[in-house]
Amino acid sequence: MQRRKFIGKAALASLASIVGADIVYGSKMSPNYIPLALQDPDPFKMFNKDKDMVVLNDKPWNMEAQAHLLDDRVTPNKYIFVRNNGLIPEEIDVKNWTLTIDGESVKQKKTYTLEELKSKFKQHTYQLTLECGGNGRSEFDPPAKGNQWTIGAVYCASWTGVRLRDVLEDVGIKDDAVYFGYHAADIHLSRDPSKEPISRGAPMAKALQDETILAFKMNGEDIPLTHGYPLRVIAGGWPASVSGKWLQRISIRNIVHDGTKMTGTAYRVPCKPVAPGEKVADEDMCIIESMPVKSLITYPKSGATISKGKKLNIRGHAWAGELEVAKMEYSIDFGSTWKTCKLEKPVNRLAWQHFSAEVDFPQEGYYEVWAKATDSNGFAQPMLLPGWNPKGYLNNACHRIAVKIA
């Protein structure tokens, strides 16, 4: 430990030489604060994550949960997946942090300090489901490019902030507004300052929803650094990439926002269904909006062995993008028969819903418990993989766990 401190000080000096500049306010740095570039490469410590989280990528950091880790009704930070497109901002000056609203469709450009945002507008707290558009990508065949998420890139935390709508009303928006796009403080992997790692957004209708907020708290505390401290957009039910972290600027556009990862094939699926492996031209790819209906069995952990005659209590969560989950079922015979689960209403719109059931097994042997959610429009999760797409998005196939009756 002592040695590490010593290294820290020496490294601070060498970092200054690498960066080619003095570390501004270096003398005012808290003795416990070590710049991110020098931090312990142990991501579990660095991001306060549980040791059972799975690291998919360390540059940029990408880490996912496992189904049984997501058992809490409101997901605590330690089980929340990390999806970074670039490098985490290295200097965050909260006192001077501002949010600027600009773009072709604002009546005037306006800048707010964090304090102004907090004091000027009413604060709201919602539980909102955020799922990575590529959650489940690992199952596609032929394989799709990108981080190979299995099932753990989803969570539902409690977010506190101000409505984007209230801020936009204060700024004044022109009638020709089409889309909002965010700009943030993260750094491109190539460290080219002219490039943004990601700059996405959503149509104005999503921007103006009650639950679309500019959040400064997660689960009642400051947002953790890797999840967007000190300010981020939260747009529940849509690919989590719409919920921009380390938010500095929102542009109100008179066109569909054309920032990084809005164009080409990013967060897009073929407008018309295609055969597995088929080539799709960029212009035939459509932007993903609401995420599809999906569910997870979070208890018990897959692999449970129970004795004959005992009932098994299962539970989990279900969500349906912009919609509500209307029905939840389970099957222990690979979909031949389905039984209904108890399903709770969401605590607020766009929060995941909790389900539970008591399962009886007819005899000893190997079983799989499959879970299937149906949304309020009557669309259910498929048991097989849904339509193949080049980037491997929107896999909402049923989740299952293995159970043995001995």
Partner 1 sequence: MKEGNHDKLKHEFQGFYRILVLSCVIVALFSVAMIYLMVDPDLSSFKSTEPNTEMVSVPVEEDDDYDKVENGIHVRTGFIEAPGMMETVQNCTNCHSAKLVMQNRMNKERWKTTIKWMQETQNLWDLGENEDVIINYLVTNYPPKKKGRREVLTDIDWYELKD
What is the contact surface with partner 1 in residues (CB under 8 A)? 2-3, 5-6, 9, 27, 55-60, 139-143, 145-148, 189-190, 192, 195, 300-306, 310, 312-313, 368, 383-385, 397, 400, 402, 404
Name the residue among 273, 330, 264 with its Cα closest to residue 297: 330
**Which lies closer to partner 1 via its Cβ, residue 94 or residue 402?**
402
Q: How far apart are CA 124 and CA 214, in angstroms?
A: 10
Hey, which residues does 374 pair with through a beta bridge? 327, 380
CB of 281 to partner 1, least distance (A): 13
**Which lies closer to partner 1 via its Cβ, residue 253 or residue 399?**
399
CB of 284 to partner 1, least distance (A): 16
Question: Hey, is 347 helix, strand or coil?
Answer: coil
**Which lies closer to partner 1 via its Cβ, residue 142 or residue 365?**
142
CB of 145 to partner 1, least distance (A): 6
**Which lies closer to partner 1 via its Cβ, residue 158 or residue 199?**
199
CB of 229 to partner 1, least distance (A): 23
Q: How far apart are CA 183 and CA 248, in angstroms?
A: 6
**Which lies closer to partner 1 via its Cβ, residue 142 or residue 362?**
142
**Which lies closer to partner 1 via its Cβ, residue 20 or residue 193?**
193
CA dihedral 296, 298, 301, 302 (to 10 degrees): -10
CA distances from 350 to 75, 158, 180, 298, 385 (A): 15, 11, 20, 19, 24
The per-residue b/e assignment along 72-100, b for 16 or more CB within 10 angstroms, e otherwise, is eeebebbbbbbbbbbbbbeeeeeeebebb
Number of H helices, E strands in the chain: 5, 24
Q: Can the peptide bond before residue 60 be classed as cis, meaning omega within 30 degrees of 0?
A: yes
Q: How far apart are CA 144 and CA 134, in angstroms?
A: 10
Q: How far apart are CA 86 and CA 188, in angstroms?
A: 5
CB of 384 to partner 1, least distance (A): 5
The backbone region for 117, taken as left when phi is positive above 0, alpha when psi lies in -120 to 50, beta otherwise, is: alpha
**Which lies closer to partner 1 via its Cβ, residue 220 or residue 303?**
303
Copy the structure tokens of residue 309.
């005659």
**Which lies closer to partner 1 via its Cβ, residue 56 or residue 234?**
56
CB of 301 to partner 1, least distance (A): 7
Query: What single DSSP character describes residue 18?
Result: H
Using CB atoms within 10 Å of the CB of residue 248, give its burial: 0 to 12 exposed, 13 to 18 middle, 19+ buried.
middle
Query: What single DSSP character describes residue 320?
Result: B
Question: Hey, is 298 helix, strand or coil?
Answer: strand
CB of 267 to partner 1, least distance (A): 15
Question: Hey, is 119 helix, strand or coil?
Answer: helix
Per-residue HEC secondary structure of 247-294 comes to: EEEEEEECCCCCCCCCCCCCCEEECCCCCCCCCCCHHHEEECCCCCCE
CB of 401 to partner 1, least distance (A): 8
**Which lies closer to partner 1 via its Cβ, residue 110 or residue 301?**
301
**Which lies closer to partner 1 via its Cβ, residue 9 or residue 45?**
9
CB of 132 to partner 1, least distance (A): 15
CB of 5 to partner 1, least distance (A): 5
